[in-house]
Structure 1
Amino acid sequence: MPLSPRATLLRDLVLGVLGTAAFLLDLGADLWAACQYVLSGHYLWAALVLALLALASVAMQLFSWVWLRADPVGLHGPQPPGRCLALLHLLQLGYLYRCVQGLQQGLLAWRQEAPSEFDLAYADFLSLDISMLRLFETFLETTPQLTLVLAIVLQSGRAESYQLVGICVSFAGISWALLDYHRALRACLPSKHLLGPGSSVIYFLWNLLLLWPRVLAVALFAAIFPCFVGLHFLGLWLVLLLWVWLQGTDFMPDAGSEWLYRVTVATILYFSWFNVAEGHTRGRATIHVVFLLSDSVLLVATGMTHSTWLPSGVPLQTWLPVAGVCFLLGLALRLAYYRWLHPRCSWEPDRVDGARSLLSPERGSQLPQNRRAAQLAHTFFPKAKGAAASPVKGEANGVL
């Protein structure tokens, strides 16, 4: 039975609070780890943690600022002056400002007995932007941080309490961001295929199970060859960036900021699949899986030939087989998800893509929807070839 608008808003409010708390918890874990590295004399490790944190934060503020400037004038209603907004982003507080703004709008709509169409649509608009920013931050900061921590644990042969906390928080945060992003994109589907509890669990698990082997392979190589892992990342990242560019992405409002998006997507592709172009993506997704699997196998094989350099207490004989089983299980769950649980819908070409229309009764004019999220949803989910296309046998066009 579908939820009422107020029940949906309450659920989204709870998820928004949890997402913001997860972001702050992950930030606290990173700062705690950096402080511990400084106190123990490992200044390089602390510098790497802070550098990854700073780079990801700058990129996230840039995305947020570019999107705000590209939004129609008056869409967001009363806001701080432009200089104050710019200062917030300069102080790396733009994302938290958006989280607070989203929670305020959701609470405002929830308090109404019958929420207006405009308030519901605007709450969706803000939520979609927050979900995209959270996903970008996850792969620009959380996933590299997790790889770094695992490499340090492998190199030192032991795991401190703050490192274990960081590993658990990172894995949970990554899978949560992927699940939240996928759920947000489903809200843009015309047929409103929401993610149920069973589908959510499967989606959460296959992302977690496929990500763990990739992170472990890179961490193992980084622990044994710390001077070469940067070259490996740069070489692979350039290839992936070229691949993204050749697919002709058109996501950001201008050509300059489009490269920020391409750089971010190339980083995501280094760890996981991310679809950026329309069309039948099954072949591209298969190529990417084979490419990453081959690279991971090479990294592990190279690392195992020099595994004697690692401390004797590192249980690689247990970790690597478990990682292999996780990969196979994750791949099976992924195939099962896209075979039976992935939504298939037809997009109506003469209507604006999105969940709700931002129509303000007070102004009597239609405002643009969150076309950023709608565009990605249009890319991630299938387009049926005609109204008579079968919803079951339709070709999958998404994150297979």
Structure 2
Amino acid sequence: MPWLPRAALLWDLVLGFLGTAAFLVDLGADLWAAGQYVLSGRYLWAALVLALLGLASVALQLFSWVWLRADPVGLHASQPPGRCLALLHLLQLGYLYRCVQGLQQGLLVWQQEAPSDFDLAYADFLTLDISMLRLFETFLETTPQLTLVLAIVLQSGGAESYQWVGICTSFVGISWALLDYHRALRTCLPSKPPLGPGSSVVYFLWNLLLLWPRVFVVALFSALFPHYVALHFLGLWLVLLFWVWLQGTDFMPDSCSEWLYRATVATILYFSWFNVAEGRTRGRAAIHLVFLLSDSVLMAVTWLTHIAWLPSGIPLQTLLPVGGVCVLLGLALRLVYYRWLHPSCRWEPDRVDGTRGLGSLEWRQLPQNRRMAQLAQNFFPRVRDEAALPQKGEVNGVL
């Protein structure tokens, strides 16, 4: 394996620590908000906050446990016994344990003068799983929590200090998860093209610029019609779930857990784009974009017809046009990214977890996170091997 600078290893370790810290801070902000709602007698709001936390946590523990059970025997030699690991997941500590394990492995690699190929590959393996779980947590808990807090602020006409803390930590968590997921996908590329700051910033910005107007308009609809937002989400979620099923996903090790994955992806698609199938995605992305924009426009029109229902003091007349401008900027940056910054790769058969510069037998003995590698194949297009294609007018090797 090519030698990696200690500075790069230290940077990876710092990013892992910051990601874990961001998760804990966001969790603390949500618990603080729930406690404040209880103290002020707003029990329904507290129950919604805790319900979102609980559902997302259970989903994360299920993903983590199923993946651990599906991993090769003997891969996680340093893990506690199976019963202790199961207890950690039952106590909703499985994801946090994975974060600690990833930090320990990263620290081990950084302390070594010449890390072994296995230690480096195992650190990548753990980091990729943590990145995927962080993305799921973002759209199962952080994004809905942000929507809920914004809806409460819109209904009440003002924001308390703990609500501002929740809004800020949610935006930081969402931003971090999107960028971290993109960075993790890049590590799965067979021919790792340079991950320049320009492409990272553009990818991060177009996702965020398209996501926050969607969150805002859903929050606005929730503030206007709190009794109907659940029906709205359920109706769209079922349509998106059916669409994901039609694409024939094959991500999880068994059919039951595959439906958990599809349900999670449908939740992500309610807020943002997420590719789940191999092949050219331009058509699917366009369909999803039109679907989501149409729904957002309908909710915005609904607000215009019920503007007097919300308290004054919040500059909605300004925020809605700003949201429209953000959507246009996000679409422009998305076109820029996919036109000039999105890399294409030459994927080789049975070699999907990155190039290590090793022989095939030695390479296959290293930990390979095929879950994330499969998503990377879906996200990054294949390059046609020009040398393998017959040239114009060439028949049987004769021009």
Shorter-chain TM band: over 0.9
Quote how far apart the aligned CAs of 1:175 are.
1.5
- Aligned counterparts, 1:103-118, within 5 A: 103-118=103-118
Identify the residue that residue 396 of structure 2 maps to in structure 1.
Answer: none
The 1:194–1:44 alpha-carbon spacing in structure 2 relative to 1, beyond 3 Å, is farther
Whether the 8 Å contact between 1:121 and 1:357 is mirrored in structure 2 is: no
Mapping of residues 64-83 of structure 1, within 5 Å: 64-83=64-83
**Corresponding residue of 1:100:** 100
Query: 2-side partners of 1:355 and 1:327: how far apart?
Result: 34
In the TM superposition, what are the counterparts of 1:163-174 in structure 2 within 5 Å? 163-174=163-174
1:212-231 alignment runs, 5 A limit? 212-231=212-231
- Say if 1:389 and 1:163 are closer, same or farther in 2 by CA, change over 3 A: farther
Q: 1:105 to 1:224 in 2, by over 3 A?
A: same
> What is the alpha-carbon distance in structure 1 between the residues aligned to residue 342 and residue 145 of structure 2?
30
Amino acid at match of 1:46: A
CA distance in structure 2 between the partners assigned to 1:253 and 1:319 by the alignment = 44
Q: Is the 8 A contact 2:142 2:174 kept in 1?
A: yes
In the alignment, does 2:17 pair up with 1:8? no
Aligned pairs (5 A) from 1:259-338: 259-338=259-338
**What is the CA-CA distance between 1:204 and the residue it aligns to?**
1.7
d(CA) in 1 for partners of 2:144 and 2:76?
A: 34
Post-superposition offset of 1:369: 0.7
Q: Is the 8 A contact 2:275 2:281 kept in 1?
A: yes
Is the partner of 2:365 in helix, strand or coil?
strand
Tell me the equivalent position of 1:352. Answer: 351
Amino acid at match of 1:184: A
Residue 393 of structure 1 is matched in structure 2 by none
Give how far 1:386 is off.
Answer: 2.2
CA shift at 1:198, angstroms?
Answer: 1.8
Q: 1:73 to 1:226 in 2, by over 3 A?
A: same
Deviation, structure 1 residue 124: 0.2
- 2:372 paired with 1:366: no
Q: How does 1:7-156 map to 2 (within 5 A)?
A: 7-156=7-156
Deviation at 1:335, TM superposition (A): 1.0
How far 1:192 sits from its partner (Å)? 0.7
Q: 1:4 deviation in Å?
A: 3.0
TM superposition score normalised by structure 2: 0.93
Query: What letter is aligned with 2:213?
Result: P
- Alpha-carbon distance, 1:39 to partner: 1.0
Counterparts of 1:371 and 1:107, CA distance in 2: 24
Amino acid at match of 1:158: G
* Structural RMSD (CA): 1.9
Aligned to 1:397: none
Is the contact between residue 185 and residue 374 of structure 1 (CA under 8 Å) also seen in structure 2? Answer: yes
- Looking at structure 2, the residues matched to 22 and 338 of structure 1 have their Cα atoms a distance apart, in angstroms, of 29
In structure 1, what residue type is equivalent to 2:172? A
Q: Decide whether the 8 Å contact of 2:118 with 2:366 is kept in 1.
A: no
Q: CA deviation at 1:136?
A: 0.3
Aligned residues: 385
Letter paired with 1:379: N
In the TM superposition, residue 66 of structure 1 has moved relative to its aligned partner by: 0.2
Work out whether residues 58 and 92 of structure 1, in 8 Å CA contact, stay in contact via their aligned partners in 2: yes
Task: State how 1:201-212 maps to structure 2 within 5 Å.
Answer: 201-212=201-212
Match of 1:233 in 2: 233
The residue type paired with residue 39 of structure 2 is: L
Structure 2 Cα separation of the partners of residues 279 and 210 of structure 1: 23
Displacement of 1:367: 4.6
Letter in 2 for 1:260: L
Distance 1:356 1:9, change over 3 A: farther
Cα deviation, residue 154, structure 1: 0.5
Q: 1-side partners of 2:357 and 2:69: how far apart?
A: 18
User: Identity over the aligned pairs, expressed in percent?
Assistant: 81
AA aligned opposite 1:170: S
Per the TM alignment, residue 346 of structure 1 is displaced from its structure 2 partner at its CA by 1.2
Q: Distance in 1 between matches of 2:87 and 2:131?
A: 23
Q: CA deviation at 1:172?
A: 1.6
Residue in 2 that maps onto 1:340: 340
State whether residues 155 and 223 of structure 1, in contact with CA within 8 Å, keep that contact through their aligned partners in structure 2: yes
Alpha carbons of structure 1 residues 133 and 75: separation in structure 2 relative to 1, 3 Å? same
The alignment's TM-score, normalised by the length of structure 1, stands at 0.93
The corresponding residue for 1:384 is 383
Q: Aligned partners of 1:29, 1:69: CA distance in 2, in Å?
A: 32
Residue 395 of structure 1 is matched in structure 2 by none
Q: Is the 8 A contact 1:357 1:369 kept in 2?
A: no
**SS at the partner of 1:383?**
coil
Q: CA deviation at 1:78?
A: 2.5
- Structure 2 portions without partners, runs of 5+: 390-399
